[in-house]
Amino acid sequence: MCYGCDKLTDVKLGKYITNIPDSAFRLCQSLETVNIPRFCTTIAANAFAEDTKLSSAYIPPYVTKIENNSFSYPAKMTVYGKSGSYAEEYAKSRNMKFSAVDAPITSISFAENEVFADRSKNIVLPMNITPEFDTDTITFSSSDENVATVKENGVINTKNYGTTTITASTSGGRTATCALRVLSDGTIIKFEAEKSGDTANVHIETGVVPAGAIVYIAAYDRDGVMVNFTEADLINYIADASVSINGAKKLKAFVWDPKTLAPLTQAKEINI
């Protein structure tokens, strides 16, 4: 990653990194402090080897493995972490100074309140967490595991179309939620329109969608104001409809599930 970068004095790592690789920051001889990402579990051999100025390492509770030679100068280092954690155990085994930190999460939220995703994907929902280094643990859950499951580090596996609520709960009692809508394979594959006077004859083809799904088609003027809309049944994943456009310049369409009252695809638009 930054092997041998002698001008690196500070580094901010993404919170979803789970492993600091072998020799990632070796010979970074200006690096003084490192803040290990909160969901990191492993610090590999030589990760911070021969970093002569490195004196402070903030290690979160999720870390469960640090190689003996990850840090070259234990005598000059202070490890900051939660009392009773693996970080404390490691520090004592290496004769490092350990400083217990009690830093509960004071604010937690998902970056977005609602997210759309395709099926059979592994995704992470970005989060806003304060402070930058904390000693809380976060438990993730999905309200409908038939739609999506979530691992302890927040990685989500989408399974079936539908909506689930992803909840993040801190050991300090704070929570954050995000509505996750998993789309079916019914992305709109083809969206065509042919104008005939004040009418647009629309042809739409989709991927797989549940029985009974319908298509909504809306017409918008040049200022983005909707002037008309219609709906059409999908038959064998094909919908044909006529829309009164009244001078509209753009059409948008998406697939809707009337049973769950939820969109199954993101809106697709074309100019007319």
Specify the domain boundaries for CATH 2.60.40.1080 within the chain.
Answer: 107-183
How far apart CA 64 and CA 153 sit, in angstroms, is 13
Q: What is the pLDDT of residue 7?
A: 81
Specify the domain boundaries for CATH 2.60.40.10 within the chain.
Answer: 188-271
Q: What is the pLDDT of residue 20?
A: 96
Q: How far is CA 253 from CA 2, 181, 194, 223, 232, in A?
A: 47, 17, 15, 18, 10
pLDDT along the chain (272 residues), means of 10: 78 88 94 94 96 96 96 97 97 97 97 90 94 95 97 94 94 96 85 94 90 94 93 94 93 91 89 92
Asked: is 107-183 a CATH 3.40.50.300 domain? The reply is no
Asked: is 188-271 a CATH 2.60.40.10 domain? The reply is yes
**pTM, entire model:** 0.76
pLDDT, tens digit, 9 for 90 and up, residues 187-227? 899 999 999 999 999 999 998 888 899 999 999 999 999 99
Kind and range of the H or E element at 91?
A: helix 86-93
Question: b vs e for 242-253, b when ≥16 Cβ sit within 10 Å of the residue's Cβ?
Answer: ebebeebebbbb
Q: What is the pLDDT of residue 53?
A: 95
Q: What is the dihedral of CA 6, 7, 10, 14, to 10 degrees?
A: -80
